[in-house]
Structure 1
Amino acid sequence: GVLAAIGAASVRVWRRPRVAILSTGDELIPPGEPMRPGMIYDSNAQILADAVRELGGEPLRYGIVADNLDPLRARLHDALRAADVVLLSGGTSKGAGDLSYRVVRELSEPGIVAHGVALKPGKPICLAVDRGKPVVILPGFPTSAIFTFHEFVAPVIRILGGRSAGERPTVPVKMAVKVNSEIGRTEYLLVGLVPGEGGLAAYPMGKGSGSVTTFSRADGFVTIGRHEEIVEAGAEVNVQLLGSELRVADLVVIGSHCVGLDFLLGQLQSRGFRTKFLAVGSTAGLQAAQRGECDVAGMHLLDPATGRYNLPYLTPDLELIEGYGRKQGLVFRPGDTRFAGRDPAEAIRQVKEDSGCVMVNRNQGSGTRILIDRLLGGAQPAGYAVQSRNHNAVAAAVAQGRADWGVAIQWVARQAGLGFLPLEDEQYDFVVPRGRLERPAVVALRELLAEPAVRQRLAGMGFRLKV
C-alpha cells in the first residue's frame, strides 16, 4: 500500500539465498525409518534446514548420499547448479573413507581455501569456493556442525540475503563453576543461564560434539580463547544467546539427576510451567541453592558423621522438601559372570584388579560419584576418567558395550534391561532457598509430591515414599 501510494509499480528486492544440503555416509537413515544396528538418524539435515530458514534462506534438501564417489560427485554438481551455497555434512576428514573431501578437492576457481580450523568443537571443517559459490563440508557430529555453521556459514547467508553479517545477541554473566579448556584451540562451551542474586550465572551443559539434546537445552555459549586454559568460577564472561532472547523458566532446578525428578518436571510442564534442569551433581546443586541461583536443588548427600542424608548439609537459609528413597547399585550386561550372582563387595574387589573390566564413572560432585569413590577406596579402574552426567547415560554406555559396569539407580537398570547388584539405599530430596518457597512453581512441586496418583507412579518406578 505504501509503495502504491508513492507511485512505485515495482521495487528491487533481495532474493532468498538458496542453500543446498547434502548428508553423506553409509550409516545414515532418514528420520521415520526403523532403526537398524550400526545406523544413526540423519539429524543434521533437519537442523541445518531450520537454521537456513531462520536466517531467511531457502533450504534445498538433497537427501542422504551413500559413501560412493560417483553418486556423490553427481549430487554435488546438481546442487551447485541449483543453489547459491552448498553444505555437505560429514566426510570432511582426509581418510580413505571420507569422500566429501575428495569430491570437493576436485573443485576449482579457487577450490578449497581452508581445511581444519583451531576450534573445539568443529576442527575438521572444510571451506571451498567454486566459481563464486561457497561450498562447505561441515563435521558430521551435530554440535560441531551447528557451531561451525553459525561461525562460517550464517554470515554468508545473511549477506546474500541483503542483510549485515550480524552477530548473535550477547549477555554478560558470571561463570558458576570452574571450567578447564584446551590450550591451542578456541572452544565453544554450551551453557545454561539462571538468575542469581548478583545477576545471571552460567552453568556448563557438558562437552562433546555429538549431543543434539545438550544443544537444544542450552541458552547460549561462551567462547573460550585458544590461550585460555582455565575459566575460574565467578569469572565474568559474555554468552552469545542461541535464540533472539533469553526466556527465564518458571522453575529452575540444579543438582543431581534422577528419573523421578524427570517425571515430576514433566508433570509440571503439562500443567503449564516452564522448567529448566541443569545436571551438575548434588554438591554443585547445594551450592547453587546457597547462592540463590535456583528454585530447587536435587540432592542425595550422605553425611558420614551422622549417617543421615541431606539434612545435615542445610544452612539456615535453606529448607528441605522431602522426596523419596531409591536404591543405587552396580549395573552390568545380563550374563556377565564378573557380576551376576556375586556379592557386590566381592564384585567391586574384582573390578579393581581387572584391567579388562571397563567402568563408566559419574561427574565429580555428584552424590553417585561420592558413593563410587567411597566404594573404590582410592582405586581408579579402567574407564575411571570417563564421566557421565546422569543415570541414563551410564546405563546406555553399559548397554551399548562402551563400558562393562557403572553405578545407577535400579529403575534405570531395569528400563535398560541390565543386571543390577544393590549397593545402597539412599534418600533423594529437594532443597529450596527460603525466599523462593512461595513461588508458584515451587508450591506446585510440593503439591505434586502429595498427590496420590503421583505418589503411586513414583512407587511404581521403584521409589520409596513415606506414608
Structure 2
Amino acid sequence: MKQEQFLTFYTKEEAEDLFKKYIKDEPLGEEEVSLDQALGRIISRDIVSPIDVPYFHRSNVDGFALKASDTYDADEESPITLKLNNEEITTGMVPKLIVKPGTATYIATGAVIPRGATAVAMVEWTEIKDDDVLIYRSVAPGENIAYAGSDIMAGEIVLRKGQVLTSRETGLIAAVGLDKVYCYRKPKIAIISTGDEVISPGDKIKEGLVYDSNSRIIADIVRENYCEPYYMGICRDNEDELIKRLEKALEMDMIILSGGTSKGVGDFTYRIIDRLGKPGIVVHGVRIKPGKQLCLAVLKNKPVAVLPGFTTSAVITFNEFIKPIIRNMAGAFREKKKTLFAKTAIKIHSYGGRREYMLVNLVHNKGEIWAYPIDKDSGSTSALAYGDGYIQIEENQEMIEKGKKVKINLLSENYQLADLIIIGSHCVGIDMLISILKEYGISSKIISVGSTAGLMAASRGEADISGIHLFDEKSGIYNIPIVKSFHELALIRGYIRKQGILFRKGDPFSGNETLEEIVRRTIEESEISMINRNKTSGTRIFFDKMLKEIFNKNGWEFKNVYEMIPGYDMEAKTHNGVASSIGFNKADWGIGIENVAKEYDLGFIFLGNEHYDFVIPKNKLEYKPIKTFLEILRSKIINSKLKKMGFIVPDNIGEILVE
C-alpha cells in the first residue's frame, strides 16, 4: 500500500487558530459541589461571606475580661486589685454578667467577651487572691480581643471565581459557614491508545511490543489540569473496533488518541476520523519537532486530538496544543509557564524549517545555569522523567552557539537544583552510592555521557563529581596520568571493575573463546552481531584499544571496522543497556562489567580490570555534600556493599590520588 504524505504543514500558530475556529474554548458550565468533595475544584462564582468572622467579640487568650481603664496604674511593683465576678466564661457559652468598673471575669481563649469589658489581661500577668485578682500589667483598650468582623465582614468577597480550592481555601469556606460551592464542571476527556504493538503495564513483554505509557502520562496530565480522564483502553488496528470506541468516546467532552497519525501503511486512525463527521480533520501536520504528525479534528462539535505514538512527541504536542484548551474548558486561570534562563553547555544543531522543542538537563556552575541537551529520541520516556525543561528553537534557527543564553521552559513547577550533579560514566556502584546519599538528605542528578565528556564537564566546573575509567596507553595506568594534566581537578580512588565480554550463555558462544575468536566469528558469520558502548566511554576506549591490536595482528584496516563487525555502530550509553540488548536477543555480545552480566544472568569472559575513580573540582572538595559523599565512600558499610556487588575494593578507597 502506498503511503500518503501530509497534506499541509502548518505553523504552530496557524494550527491553533484553525482548531479553535471549530471548538468552544471556554468553561463547560457549573455545578454545585459539596465542600467535602471540593478540594482541587475551580470555583465558578465569587464566594461572599454570609457572616462576620469572628461572629462575636472573642478573647484571644486565657485571662480576665475587665475595663482597660482600671489597669492603667498597674505594674509589677504595684499591682491593681479587682473583684472577681462570680462567673467563668468558657467557649461556647454566652456570658450573663456585665463587667463593671473595679471587677473582672475569668475568660478562656475563644470565649465570648462579656458586656462592659474593654480588654483582656493575660493570665500570666495576674494572680488570684481569695475573691480578688491582682493585675500586674496594664492593658490597652481592645487588647487581646478579636472584634466581630475583624477577620472577615459579612458581605465581603473571600474568594473570587477561577480560584483553585486547596486545603486553605476549603478551610476558609468552612469558616464562613458554607457547606456547598459552585464549581466549573470538570471536562471529561476520553483517552484511547491505538496499535497492535501496545500492551498494558503488567502484561508480559515480547519483542516488538511496547507498554502503554502514553495513556498513563496523558491521563495524569489531564488530571493535573483540573479535568477528568476516562481511559477507554487499547484499541487494536481494527477499523470496526476503533469506530465503536470513538462513538462511545463522543459521549465525553474531548477525545485524545495516541498513535495512528503518521500516514504510514498501518496508521488508519486519521482516515476513520475524517469519515465520521464534519469538519473532521482540520490539521494534520505541524512544523514542529518532535510532533510533526499531530492531527487535530472535530467530530459532532467535540475536539479530537490524535497524538504521535512516541512518548516525547505525544507529551510535547499535548502540552503545547491541548493543555491550554482543556484548562480553558475547566475554567482554570491561564497557565504561566515556569521559565528560567540558562547558557548552552555545548553547540546545539537544529534541523531548521520546524520549531523544535529540545529537552535539556540543567547544571549550576559559578552562579550560572548551563543547559545540556538530552541526546534521546522522541520515543524516550526517561528523557521526560529525568529532564529539567526544554529549549524552544524557532523554525529559521539552525544552530545555537555554545554559551548562548536561552530560555528554558521547565517541565515541573517544583524544579529544584540537585545537591550533587554527577556527570560521567555510568556504573551500578554509583547508583547505589546515590541511593545512600538520598538517605542523608542529599539529592543527586546523574547525566551519563561517558568518561571523557564527564572529565571535561568537571574541568569546566559543571560537574560536582565525575565517574571515570580512562586508560592511558603510554603508562598503562588508569585515570591518574590523564587527570594530572587538569590542574583544577582532584582524583579520588574508587573501586575496581572487571571488564569483559557479555553474551547469552551458550548462545552463540561457549564462554571459553578469546576476544579475537569472537571477533573473527562475528566477521565471518553474518548472523552474529554485537552492541557497542558510546564513543566517549572508558569501556569503548578500552575495547577499541584491544580491537585495534586484533586488527593489526590480522592485517585488517581498522577504518573498515563498521563494515566488518555487524553492530559495531549500535551504541548503548550504559552497561545495563548493553546487557539488556543481549538479553532480549537484539545483539549477541558486547563489552561490559561482570556485575551487570550477573544481574542479567549472562555469560562473562574476563578481559581485564579497570579502575573506576571519581574526579572532583578542587574548589568543591569542602562542599558539604561532597564531604558526605567521600565519608560514605570510605565507610566500611559501603565497602561491604560494593564487594557484595562484585567490585574489588582497594584499601585506599576514598583517598585523594591527584590534588
Task: Normalising by structure 2, report the TM-score.
Answer: 0.66
Which shifted more, 155-164 or 204-213? 155-164
Contact 2:503 2:509 survives alignment (8 Å): no
Deviations 1:23-45 (A, max 9, x none): 22333333344556654332212
User: Does the residue aligned with 1:150 lie in a helix, a strand or coil?
Assistant: helix
Alignment of 1:53-452 (within 5 A): 53-83=223-253, 85-163=254-332, 166=335, 168-197=337-366, 199-314=368-483, 315-337=486-508, 340-352=511-523, 356-377=527-548, 378=558, 379-380=561-562, 381-452=565-636
User: Does the residue aligned with 2:616 lie in a helix, a strand or coil?
Assistant: strand
Contact 1:344 1:422 survives alignment (8 Å): no
Contact 1:352 1:376 survives alignment (8 Å): no
Give how far 1:324 is off. 0.3
Per the alignment, do residues 234 and 361 of structure 1 end up closer, same or farther by CA in structure 2, a change over 3 Å counting? farther
Cα distance in 2 for residues equivalent to 1:364 and 1:230:
23
Choose 1 or 2 for highest CA Rg. Answer: 2
Cα distance in 2 for residues equivalent to 1:324 and 1:364:
22
Contact 1:203 1:278 survives alignment (8 Å): no
- What amino acid sits opposite 1:307 in the alignment? G
Give how far 1:338 is off. 5.6
Identify unmatched segments of 5+ residues in structure 1. Answer: none
Per the alignment, do residues 186 and 407 of structure 1 end up closer, same or farther by CA in structure 2, a change over 3 Å counting? farther
- What amino acid sits opposite 1:418 in the alignment? L
Give how far 1:167 is off. 5.4
Cα distance in 1 for residues equivalent to 2:395 and 2:579:
35
Contact 1:360 1:388 survives alignment (8 Å): yes
Cα distance in 2 for residues equivalent to 1:152 and 1:347:
51
Per the alignment, do residues 233 and 391 of structure 1 end up closer, same or farther by CA in structure 2, a change over 3 Å counting? farther
User: Does the residue aligned with 2:436 lie in a helix, a strand or coil?
Assistant: helix
Give how far 1:150 is off. 0.9
Give how far 1:452 is off. 2.0
Of 610, 631, 646, the match for 1:462 = 646
Identify unmatched segments of 5+ residues in structure 2. Answer: 1-46, 51-153, 158-177, 549-557, 652-659
User: Does the residue aligned with 2:276 lie in a helix, a strand or coil?
Assistant: coil
Per the alignment, do residues 37 and 349 of structure 1 end up closer, same or farther by CA in structure 2, a change over 3 Å counting? closer
Q: Which residue is 1:22 aligned to? A: 192
Give the root-mean-square deviation of aligned CA atoms.
Answer: 2.6
User: Does the residue aligned with 1:456 lie in a helix, a strand or coil?
Assistant: helix
Deviations 1:135-157 (A, max 9, x none): 01112222221111112111211
Contact 1:189 1:207 survives alignment (8 Å): no
Give how far 1:446 is off. 1.3
Cα distance in 2 for residues equivalent to 1:440 and 1:418:
40
Give how far 1:125 is off. 2.1
- What amino acid sits opposite 1:251 in the alignment? L
Per the alignment, do residues 44 and 172 of structure 1 end up closer, same or farther by CA in structure 2, a change over 3 Å counting? same
Cα distance in 2 for residues equivalent to 1:295 and 1:119:
35
Give how far 1:426 is off. 0.6
Give how far 1:2 is off. 3.7
Q: Which residue is 2:118 aligned to? A: none
Deviations 1:118-141 (A, max 9, x none): 333323222111233210111222
Give how far 1:164 is off. 5.8
Cα distance in 2 for residues equivalent to 1:7 and 1:292:
55
Deviations 1:83-137 (A, max 9, x none): 2x21011222334533422331223331111223333332322211123321011
Deviations 1:320-361 (A, max 9, x none): 221100012222222234674211133234435655433322
User: Does the residue aligned with 2:293 lie in a helix, a strand or coil?
Assistant: coil
Cα distance in 1 for residues equivalent to 2:408 and 2:306:
27
Deviations 1:199-255 (A, max 9, x none): 111122221122222211110112334454444433332221101143011111111
Per the alignment, do residues 112 and 339 of structure 1 end up closer, same or farther by CA in structure 2, a change over 3 Å counting? farther
